[in-house]
Structure 1
Amino acid sequence: MRYQRLSTGDQYRLIAVDDGTAFDLTAVKPRLDSFGDLAAAADIAGVGVDELASEIADEAPTVSPDSLSDGTLPVVPEEVWAAGVTYEISEEAREEESGMPEMYLHAYEADRPEIFFKATPSRTVGPGEAVGIRADSTWDVPEPELGIVLYDGSIVGYTIGNDMSSREIEGENPLYLPQAKMYERCCSIGPCVTSAEEIGDPHELTMSMEISRDGEVLYDDETSIGNMARSCEELVEHWRDHDVVPELGVLLTGTSLVPDDGFTLQPDDEVRIEIDEIGELSNPVIEV
């Protein structure tokens, strides 16, 4: 199943979409108004999120899929983390931007992956909301990534993430990574959470990204998640090791879709990211 969160103005409603039919789970269970609530209830019951949602959906009214408007985060993670240099092209791109290229090759080949803190809920936007480029940077790019949704450290679903990045700031000095990665509107997530049961093997998924400006497509490419040098399970294991992970979190898994060095985002650009079985995450760009 796919899960989205519908805003009705005064409250949120958890919607489960199964074979094109959208079920209002909150109408049956009023206290169940987020994917996090569903994951917690499923964990207590000892069942998967889809099994619990199916039981509730049997009594739930349906809503029009058209009512699932943009702007609402499908999941509100306590923390968003991200993995870097997990694809060969990403490692090569970061070598080119940096004065210390050997460090990225080492991270790509090492047993320990690069994992860093990315965003809080206040820095994260949903589908249709604007992502930000820093006003003090002249080289900014989106990074489309598969997002792993975890509840209590276990994989319960997948979403799409956009890890907005200043290549100029990071390239100037790797110690500037937090400023290059973490700022206002630095991350988007959506359009839904697709359950781990529905996805099966995430490494079989295809991911694509399109960037347009004034109606003209400037970038359009796709890749396979299977090209990742590390598995989702490996990245999750390293994130959890020796750390206190949030009850509900998202881990972005890196990208291999990197625009040419001469490209930088501008305000009013549109970034569209699509992953099989999850959908399309689309965001305009503003300067922050």
Structure 2
Amino acid sequence: MSFLDTSELNGTFLGRVWRPEVNGPAAVTLRDGQVIDITSKTAPTVRDICEMDDPAAYVSAAAGASLGTLADIASATPGDLSAVHFLAPCDLQSVKACGVTFASSMVERVIEEQAAGDPQKAEEIRGRVGSAIGESLRNIKAGSEDAARVKQVLIAEGLWSQYLEVGIGPDAEVFSKAQVLSSMGPGADVGLHPISKWNNPEPEVVLAVSSKGRIVGATLGNDVNLRDVEGRSALLLSKAKDNNASCSIGPMFRLFDATFSLDDVRKAELELKVEGPDGFVLDGHSSMREISRDPEDLVRQTVGRHHQYPDGIVLFLGTLFAPTKDRDVPGEGFTHKLGDVVTISAPGFGKLKNTVRLSTECPEWTFGISHLMRNLAQRDLI
């Protein structure tokens, strides 16, 4: 089984795998169904490739050796250090995320905030809040005069929220999602903090951005979301977002070339499927056409003279998806069960599939920046 179908293999892909014989990661691309190791002294990391003037041209021409077929390596067990398996495609880049970038998700964030993390109370106020602001925000450009007028109306209605401030105000919400090298890749387990009882997946496009703020490619991501923790207080955002195995990115970066551009990102249609061990199935969708802020604007608000990232960033763009389908108790909506299998897909991007566990049950993150540097040095790559 693979995470890319044949119609998608004409693109230029860049990712990472674990190589047991060198006890470390390798930068790889795909050629004729083979996974090709292109790690070199010129570019020992994915970060180094993303910093080049034309990453796609370099990847297409780089010398390399086959590690096996895409199908075989994609079916290997993530975390098995004795087998070649895929990792998250980013390495030294900071992992950043944007929140409340879609109108529908703004409504749900307001509900979460007013419900203070109580799913039953959320159902009670969903109708009132939704009827007041739901559709009215869809065509408003964030930071515009129209948005400012809506803000005044909502304040008068007693419905203004910090989530709507970042949703339609001039400044985007950008937060640190995960630590460098801590993201999970395709096929791996993803983790929920054990204190959470109300949570969900968030299917998103993730940009690969150079240190100069240039977008060079994109992939998929799951910004695992603890609705009850963040709903209790926005000051708990870090606790809600950054936990062991709580960030998934992949399967590989599709680099911008003649077949794929930022316009394809702007038109991306993401599909979500959650398949539970109890037989429950949830289908969701997120359309990048409905995003309230353009991806280039989100990058400008993240990288610039105000904040530098010498190793670049990967940037989650937010999601339209907000789960309200009841799973167990009427009126309490959706929440994960351990063992849920989450699949996020989009044409041209492939599929990102992960299984939900507790963060305390997922393997501990132990391979950090110091370990990567020592490993590359031992391999005479730096």
Q: TM-score, normalised by structure 1?
A: 0.89
Kept in 1, the 8 Å contact 2:205–2:221? The answer is yes
Conserved in 2, the CA contact under 8 Å of 1:149 and 1:158? yes
How far the C-alpha of 1:237 sits from its partner, in A, is 0.1
Separation of aligned partners in 1, 2:278 and 2:227: 25
- Corresponding residue for residue 111 of structure 1: 170
**Residues 169 and 109 of structure 1: CA distance in aligned 2, closer, same or farther (over 3 Å):** same
Give the total of aligned pairs. 280
**Using the alignment, how far apart are the partners of 1:8 and 1:118 within structure 2?**
26
CA distance in 2, matches of 1:7, 1:180: 29
- 5 Å-filtered alignment, 1:155-234, equals 155-197=215-257, 198-200=259-261, 201=263, 202-214=265-277, 216-234=279-297
Match of 1:95 in 2: 110
The CA deviation string for residues 13-44 of structure 1, in whole angstroms up to 9 with x for no partner, is 332225x54362437x466454223234xx2x
Deviation of the 1:168 alpha carbon: 0.4
- TM (norm. structure 2) is 0.68
Secondary structure at the counterpart of residue 104 of structure 2: helix
Aligned AA for 1:225?
Answer: M
Contact 1:204/1:224 (8 A) holds in 2: yes
Structure 1 outlier segments of 4+, above 6 Å: none
Which of 230, 252, 262 does residue 316 from structure 2 map onto? 252
Q: Is the 8 A contact 2:189 2:357 kept in 1?
A: yes
Taking the aligned partners of 2:112 and 2:67, their CA distance within structure 1 comes to 50
Amino acid at match of 2:56: D
Contact 1:2 1:278 in 2 (8 A): no
By percentage of residues, which structure has more strand? 1
1:264 corresponds in structure 2 to 335
The answer on 1:240 being equivalent to 2:303 is yes
Matched, 1:65 2:70: yes
SS in 1 for 2:62: helix
Paired residue secondary structure (2:240): helix
| Structure 2 counterpart of 1:133, one-letter code | L
Report the secondary structure of 2:289's partner residue.
Answer: helix
The one-letter amino acid of 1:150's match is V
Deviation at 1:240, TM superposition (A): 1.2
Kindly indicate whether the alpha-carbon contact (under 8 Å) linking 2:229 and 2:239 is maintained by their aligned counterparts in 1. yes
Corresponding residue SS for 1:95: helix
**Residue by residue, what CA displacement relative to the aligned partner does 1:230-274 show, whole Å, maximum 9, x if unpaired?**
111000000014112241321100001121151111211111111
Return the letter of the residue paired with 1:75: C
| C-alpha contact (below 8 Å) 2:106/2:167 kept by paired residues | yes
Give structure 1 stretches of 5+ with no counterpart: none
**Match of residue 356, structure 2, among 264, 278, 285:** 285
Q: 1:118 to 1:101 in 2, by over 3 A?
A: farther
Query: Does structure 2 retain, via aligned residues, the 8 Å contact 1:204–1:225?
Result: yes
* Partner residue in 2 for 1:16: 29
Distance 1:34 1:21, change over 3 A: farther
Indicate the SS of the match to 1:216. coil
In structure 2, the residue corresponding to 1:237 is in which secondary structure?
Answer: helix
* Alignment deviations for residues 139-195 of structure 1 (CA, whole Å, 9 cap, x no partner): 111111100111212211111111111110111112111111111111011100100
Shift of 1:56: 2.2
Distance 1:34 1:105, change over 3 A: same
Question: How far apart are residue 222 of structure 1 and its match?
Answer: 2.0
Contact 2:88–2:250 (8 Å) recurs in 1: yes
d(CA) in 1 for partners of 2:95, 2:233 = 23
Percent of residue pairs bearing the same amino acid type: 27
Structure 2 counterpart of 1:285, one-letter code: V
The secondary structure found in structure 1 opposite 2:236 is helix
Matched residue, 1:36 = 47
What is the identity, as a one-letter code, of the residue corresponding to 2:197? Answer: T
Alpha-carbon RMSD across the aligned residues, in angstroms, is 2.2
Unaligned runs of 5+ in 2: 1-11, 79-86, 115-158, 325-331, 360-382
Counterpart for residue 76 of structure 1: 91
Q: 1:93-151 deviations in whole A, cap 9, x for unaligned?
A: 10111128622222211111111111103542111111111111111111111001112
